[in-house]
Amino acid sequence: MNTNTSTNSALQTWLVLVFAFISGFIIMAIELLGGRILAPYFGSSIFVWGSIITVFMLSLSIGYLCGGKLSLLKPNLKLYGSFFAGAAVLLLPLVFAGNQIMEAIFLRIEDPRYGSLVVSMLLFFLPTAVMGMIAPYSVRLLVSSTHGSGHVAGKLYFISTLGSALGTLATSFYLVLWFEVNQILITMCLVLLCTGFIAIIADLKGNDI
Amino acid sequence: MQTSENTIVRKQLAWRNFKTEILVVLAIALIIFAKDMLAQNGIRYIHQERSLYRNILVTEDTQRRCLRFTITSRSGQNQSCRFLDQPRELVFPYAKMSLSSLLVQDQPQRILIVGLGGGTLSDTYSLLFPDTEIVISEIDDAVVRVASEYFDFKETDKISVDVGDARVFIKRQGLRGEKYDLVILDAFNGEYIPEHLMTKEFLEEVKRLLPENGMVLANTFSTSRLYAAESNTYREVFGEFFNIRMNGTGNRVIVASMQPLPDQETLVSRAPAIRERLEQFGMDITEFPKLMSTEITWDTNQRILTDQYSPANLLNN
């Protein structure tokens, strides 16, 4: 039993670290693409970036709060996985109805500052908030003692922020040169979905043992 | 043991100090070198500011005053220049190339210019057509201020500026059914044209502003992989266009029209009538018909630019 738990938790540690990296990568990739997506309707003025960054920060902060709260109840990989799968589903409107939503707001709000803010809320708030839940929940999954909690949190910040750095770099240097915006977004949705399923499967397997 | 450790520490300290000294010396050398280079060309900075979008510099030498968006003093970085003694004369070939569009359509009633710069194009067109309404879309109000202060740009009852992103402005103008029979695309940041102002969807929005006899004119570069991508994109939206290139400049000007383009003979025959009017700008229009070609001189396989795919400034490298 004991040995099983320890191999199990070693696997879990690896999974959570890799998943934290992936979520960091995808959050920044989407934020960066956000500028591209909004430009045809709201331009590339400084306030468009202001809207996008505001919404990402706001949704992440709320996601952190909710993720932390949820981690109080029996933390498990299944719920963890469903954050990823949920984020993938919540990104779909951006891919498939993005233009219609932006057009509707563009027609209703003249001032591109508020237009871009409202559109950012509609397109990015939910998926980003759900992705924000991943960070505190990851900490809870990996922490086994109060003594080591800072160390675990530090390691997770490190790996997810590293993911964010690489997500930014990869997207702005290469991905936009090779692919269309929607191709990148759909790939990210698929990656999130796969990640979610792997976590859920790992959870089921863990329960079998 | 003790002493040897001390020596090591001292050596390390000395090396650290030495490194700092090297850096200081290098920094000073760089400043002197940069100043020297500018002094050699006799260039003075008469205004320098950092706006929300870019650095704005106004430089002056003995002959001309220029507007620049980058600090580096490579040639070709000037956005706009004018001669101090003959302010009307066009300094840059691209401005002259732009005027050759008058051979295609010579009486624009309403002009939209995207990108003010030093106001060269707006001044030129308002001198040529004092009764024509000119609307300028410029993202940076600092540019408008600098143009007024240093390049004699003035808003009048015929000339107005909309400060904001051109993509948004053009989309809204299209929705309102506004028409401009000449749209001039001349938006540059320090680097190149903003990416969302080069896509097929953007050009379609521009096309919506053009009446039956409307014309679009774009100032772009003829170097880099972007040349082919841009050309294919314009062709996709407007069909055949005049591609105007000149020796001694990396710019090329695209002139596309809603009407079929006139042939070479027609262009040549129209030139003498407007020659005199254009002389004040230091150009001989009769030299331009031969530069106006519809020939495809680029790789037609290069992918067109869309809102989904516009790595414009990456292709430019």
**Spatial contact of B171 and B208, defined as CB atoms under 8 Å apart:** no
Q: What is the pLDDT of residue B4?
A: 60
Spell out which residues of chain A touch residue B308, defining contact as CB-CB under 8 Å.
180-183
Chain B interface includes A43 (CB < 8 A): yes
User: What CATH code is assigned to A2-208?
Assistant: 1.20.1250
Q: What is the mean pLDDT of residues A190-204?
A: 94
B61 is catalytic: no
Per-residue pLDDT band at A81 (split at 50, 70, 90): very high
Look at residue B57 in the predicted model and tell me its pLDDT.
87
Q: Among B164, B167, B175, select the one facing A39 at the smallest CB separation.
A: B167
Q: Report pLDDT digits (tens) over B273-283.
A: 999 989 988 88
pLDDT in tens, A60-76: 999 999 999 999 998 99
Q: Are strands B292-293 and B242-245 parallel, antiparallel or unpaired?
A: antiparallel
Q: Using CB atoms, which residue from B139, B194, B308 is nearest to A182?
A: B308
Q: Is residue B175 part of a domain?
A: yes
Interface A–B counts its CB contacts (< 8 A) at 60
Tell whether B31 and B106 lie within a shared domain: no
Minimal CA–CA distance to A23: which of A95, A71, A81, A93?
Answer: A81
Rounded CA-CA distance A53/B295 in Å is 45
Residue of A nearest to B307 (CA): A40
- pLDDT for A1: 37
List the single residue in B with minimal CA-CA distance to A179.
B309
Do B306 and B173 fall into the same domain?
A: yes
Contacts of residue A115, Cβ cutoff 8 Å, sequence gap at least 6? A41, A42, A105, A106, A109
DSSP of A11-33, one letter per residue? Answer: HHHHHHHHHHHHHHHHHHHHHHH
Can you tell me the mean pLDDT for B259-275?
A: 92
Q: pLDDT over 90 for what percent of chain B?
A: 47
- Whether B52 is covered by a domain: the verdict is no
Same domain as B150, residue B222: yes
pLDDT (0 to 100) of residue A165? 97
**More confident call, A80 vs A5:** A80
CB A86 within 8 A of CB A130: yes
**B17 and B97 in a common domain:** no
Q: H helices within B119-225, ranges in order?
A: 120-128, 141-150, 166-175, 200-209
Residues of A in contact with B187 (CB under 8 A): none
Nearest to B308 among A43, A177, A181 (CB): A181
| Residues B230, B149 share a domain | yes
Residues B269 and B173 occupy one common structural domain: yes
Question: Can you read off the two tokens belonging to residue A163?
Answer: 């993911």
Does residue A117 have a pLDDT over 80?
Answer: yes
Nearest chain A Cα distance for residue B172, angstroms = 9
Structure-token pair, residue B51? 């706006």
**Does residue A6 or residue B186 have the better pLDDT?**
B186
Using the Cβ of A39 and the Cβ atoms of chain B, whether some distance falls under 8 Å is answered with: yes
Distance CA B85, CA B282 (A): 13
The structure's pTM equals 0.83
Tokens 């037609």, located at residue: B300
Helix, strand, or coil here: B280? coil
On whether the CB atoms of residues B244 and B287 are closer than 8 A, the answer is no
- The model's confidence at residue A80, banded by pLDDT at 50, 70 and 90, is very high
Give, for A134, the enclosing helix (H) or strand (E). helix A112-142
Residue B50 confidence (pLDDT): 87
Helix (H, G, I), strand (E, B) or coil at B55: strand
Give φ, ψ of B55 to 5 degrees.
Answer: -85, 140
Report the pLDDT value the prediction gives residue B21, as an integer from 0 to 100: 78
Both B35 and B97 in one domain: the answer is no
Pick among A41, A44, A49, A94 to test the B interface (most B CBs inside 10 A): A44
> At B168, which CATH number?
3.40.50.150
Same domain, B97 and B16: no
Same domain, B16 and B130: no
Contact map slice: B 138-177 vs A, CB within 8 A: 139, 164-168, 171-172, 175
In B, minimum Cα distance to A184 occurs at: B308
Reported as a single tens digit per residue, the pLDDT across B295-312 is 998 999 999 999 999 886
- Which residues touch A205 (CB under 8 Å, ≥6 apart)? none
For the cut 90, the answer to whether the pLDDT of residue B83 exceeds it is no
Catalytic, out of B131, B181, B186, B263: B186
Amino acid of residue A131: M
Confidence at residue A84, expressed as pLDDT on a 0 to 100 scale: 97
Interface test with B, best of A32, A33, A36 (most B CBs within 10 A): A36
| A39 contacts B195? CB cut-off 8 A | yes
Question: What confidence tier does A5 reach under pLDDT thresholds 50, 70, 90?
Answer: very low
Contact residues, chain A, for B53 at CB < 8 Å: 46
B126: containing domain: 93-315
Instruction: Count how many domains chain B has.
Output: 2
In whole angstroms, what is the distance from residue B103 CA to residue B288 CA?
9
pLDDT bin (cut points 50, 70, 90) of residue B2 is low
Domain-by-domain residue ranges, chain A? 2-208
CB-based contact, A112 to chain B, within 8 Å: yes
Sort out which chain A residues have CB atoms less than 8 A from B139's CB and list them.
Answer: 43, 45
